[in-house]
Homo-oligomer: A and B are copies of this chain.
């Protein structure tokens, strides 16, 4: 199925919802304007539509092949990646001093949506590479930056994140990979890592692995974890490529989806020890890794958005083409009608569209907050934006990926029997979408992060300022004669406030189980309300098309109305849960 960049919708969300102009006005991004943004999106859209989208189905069918330590990516991917790198896309938001284009994270998020939508499996490679750049930029020495960043930014090399081990998944602190000081400033790394995305492939000259490992004298748990740069090929101090490092891909997983993305089992130090250099400080690995993970969490939320947009486009095209039956009450029509004329199909398409627009707004607002946290004009503005970004990131990651699955599933349904036939392509989105709620911290982990860390940040100030914004928006809706939207948003905000207070009270009272039991529905509540908020902001734009108000109203009645349910579930506590009832 073809894919077209939804440029109008993206530009609307960038400018009217995520306040692109605020970033322009900071003056921190040279040359940034609405025009250049549109031009960049247009170019990226061409690459996505013409190069990546056509490889989506073939990549799914062919998958990756493991051949004696090497990984062969599906036909065309290597060339597509070369075009991607050649176009400078790998370094869109990277620092200019290392060859990047120093554009905002916001713009990178928008462009990333295009990669995710056109080819979700492929889009993982840039996500990981960008995370590597973020981590080295933030924590690397000048030497490390000089040696690694230019090639990562240019797309000549790619990067990976090595956290998971068979016994250490969500509990990163349980990892056992060892790092031993060699005395020459390098470390000898030994251990196994699993689920390493693009851990080995044939698209780049070198792969820069960021590896979490434990020093012999490290404290237990996450406090004893250090982060190492372990390149596939060692780099000489003059920047030239050196010897092959002692790291091997020993196999790849056979997965439900994203077949064009190799998920590798990596073995470090089978030949005596892989050579790594410390990134950041000893035992400070988690902090450094979080830099990368926060970046990746936003990116994975963006994947939820992208795959939903793709599924939506495909379902819409089918619903316009496919003729079947006559809607009841449409007896004047001769011959079968396109199924989009059936109200039940319209409901499904409206649900997809409303969710996609809500996700897009949320992803972009989150990205803009990350930018302002870096370049806001005042310390106060930066501080507030950082809190906002920290608050929203788990919501964006989890809610957008959950909705990605929901939207992809509706996409299958709209196709009827054809949706279950792989040839159609709808089923691939349903398979691909399913990984996003799992990786980069499962959605359950995001919910626990939200409740146990983010709600309490700065005495709860992050949430309070967000709630104030929601109420302000509801007020404006009322003034603009949109009472239904206003009431729905105000009610959602109240739910959010009430539940957050309840959760914090339970935590304060030491009733941790109650708070943890409510974490996931609370996050769903948060995402649902946040989605209503961004759609409402769109409806408030002077002169916006009436259809945009219709969309916001549909969301309010049909999706935001989930809020009370989530609120009830989130505050139902742990008393109605028991291992005995599960085992009945």
Which of A's residues lie within 8 Å of B, judged by CB? 8-9, 164, 167, 169-171, 173-174, 194-195, 253-257, 316, 323-325, 327-329, 336, 340, 342-350, 353, 357, 405, 409, 412-413, 416-417, 419-423, 427, 430-431, 434-435, 437-439, 442-444, 447-448, 452, 510, 512-513, 516-517, 519-521, 545-548, 550-551, 553-554, 557-558, 561-562, 564-565, 568-569, 572, 574, 576-584
Name the distance in Å between A163's Cβ and chain B's nearest Cβ: 11
Quick check: A435 and B409 within 8 Å, CB to CB? no
Picked from B405, B427, B576, the residue with its CB within 8 Å of the CB of A409 is: B405
Name the distance in Å between A347's Cβ and chain B's nearest Cβ: 6
- Which residues on B sit within 8 Å (CB–CB) of A510? 329
* C-alpha gap A550/B578 in the complex (Å): 8
Quick check: A550 and B580 within 8 Å, CB to CB? yes
12 additional A-B residue pairs with CB within 8 Å, beyond A416-B438, A545-B584:
A170-B324, A170-B416, A194-B417, A257-B420, A327-B516, A343-B574, A343-B577, A344-B448, A347-B577, A350-B577, A417-B438, A561-B564
- Which residues on B sit within 8 Å (CB–CB) of A564? 561, 564-565
* C-alpha gap A440/B576 in the complex (Å): 36
- Known A-B contacts A170-B325, A569-B557; the reply to A550 vs B421 at CB < 8 A is no
Number of identical monomers bound together in the oligomeric complex:
2
Quick check: B572 and A557 within 8 Å, CB to CB? yes
Name the distance in Å between A512's Cβ and chain B's nearest Cβ: 4
* C-alpha gap A8/B547 in the complex (Å): 53
- Which residues on B sit within 8 Å (CB–CB) of A431? 256, 431
Quick check: A584 and B547 within 8 Å, CB to CB? yes
Name the distance in Å between A375's Cβ and chain B's nearest Cβ: 31
- Known A-B contacts A347-B520, A569-B561, A584-B9; the reply to A325 vs B171 at CB < 8 A is yes
Picked from B345, B434, B577, the residue with its CB within 8 Å of the CB of A420 is: B434
Those 3 A-B pairs whose CB atoms lie nearest each other, nearest first = A171-B325, A557-B572, A343-B516
Quick check: A328 and B437 within 8 Å, CB to CB? no
Quick check: B423 and A438 within 8 Å, CB to CB? no
Q: Which residue of B lies closest to A519 (CB)?
A: B344
- Which residues on B sit within 8 Å (CB–CB) of A513? 327, 329, 343
- Known A-B contacts A343-B517, A344-B448, A558-B572; the reply to A547 vs B578 at CB < 8 A is yes
Name the distance in Å between A560's Cβ and chain B's nearest Cβ: 9
A-B contact pairs, 26 of them (CB 8 A): A167-B323, A256-B412, A328-B452, A329-B510, A342-B516, A343-B513, A343-B574, A344-B448, A344-B519, A346-B578, A347-B577, A350-B581, A353-B582, A353-B584, A413-B437, A416-B442, A417-B439, A548-B581, A551-B581, A554-B572, A557-B568, A557-B569, A561-B565, A561-B568, A564-B564, A564-B565
Q: Which residue of B lies closest to A173 (CB)?
A: B325
Quick check: A550 and B576 within 8 Å, CB to CB? yes
Q: Which residue of B lies closest to A573 (CB)?
A: B557
* C-alpha gap A159/B211 in the complex (Å): 58
Picked from B167, B174, B576, the residue with its CB within 8 Å of the CB of A553 is: B576
- Which residues on B sit within 8 Å (CB–CB) of A546? 580
- Known A-B contacts A430-B256, A430-B434, A444-B344; the reply to A569 vs B578 at CB < 8 A is no
- Which residues on B sit within 8 Å (CB–CB) of A340? 579, 582
* C-alpha gap A584/B10 in the complex (Å): 11
Name the distance in Å between A327's Cβ and chain B's nearest Cβ: 7
- Which residues on B sit within 8 Å (CB–CB) of A9? 584
- Which residues on B sit within 8 Å (CB–CB) of A519? 343-344
- Known A-B contacts A438-B417, A557-B568, A582-B340; the reply to A325 vs B357 at CB < 8 A is no
- Known A-B contacts A434-B412, A438-B419; the reply to A350 vs B582 at CB < 8 A is yes
- Which residues on B sit within 8 Å (CB–CB) of A516? 327-328, 342-344
- Known A-B contacts A416-B169, A422-B255; the reply to A582 vs B344 at CB < 8 A is no
Question: Of residues A169, A343, A405, which shows the largest number of chain B Cβ atoms within 10 Å of its Cβ?
Answer: A343
Picked from B324, B325, B565, B576, the residue with its CB within 8 Å of the CB of A565 is: B565
- Which residues on B sit within 8 Å (CB–CB) of A427? 255-256, 434
Name the distance in Å between A549's Cβ and chain B's nearest Cβ: 9
Quick check: B164 and A417 within 8 Å, CB to CB? yes
Question: Of residues A344, A416, A443, which shows the largest number of chain B Cβ atoms within 10 Å of its Cβ?
Answer: A344
* C-alpha gap A574/B327 in the complex (Å): 13
Quick check: A517 and B346 within 8 Å, CB to CB? yes
Quick check: B253 and A444 within 8 Å, CB to CB? no
- Which residues on B sit within 8 Å (CB–CB) of A173? 325
- Known A-B contacts A422-B255, A434-B412, A554-B576; the reply to A547 vs B343 at CB < 8 A is no
Name the distance in Å between A577's Cβ and chain B's nearest Cβ: 5
Q: Which residue of B lies closest to A322 (CB)?
A: B169
Quick check: A255 and B171 within 8 Å, CB to CB? no
Q: Which residue of B lies closest to A550 (CB)?
A: B581
Name the distance in Å between A215's Cβ and chain B's nearest Cβ: 21
Quick check: A325 and B174 within 8 Å, CB to CB? yes
Q: Which residue of B lies closest to A9 (CB)?
A: B584
* C-alpha gap A173/B335 in the complex (Å): 12
Name the distance in Å between A416's Cβ and chain B's nearest Cβ: 5
Quick check: B413 and A438 within 8 Å, CB to CB? yes
- Which residues on B sit within 8 Å (CB–CB) of A568? 557-558, 561
Picked from B174, B324, B345, the residue with its CB within 8 Å of the CB of A174 is: B324
Q: Which residue of B lies closest to A343 (CB)?
A: B516
Name the distance in Å between A315's Cβ and chain B's nearest Cβ: 10
Q: Which residue of B lies closest to A555 (CB)?
A: B576
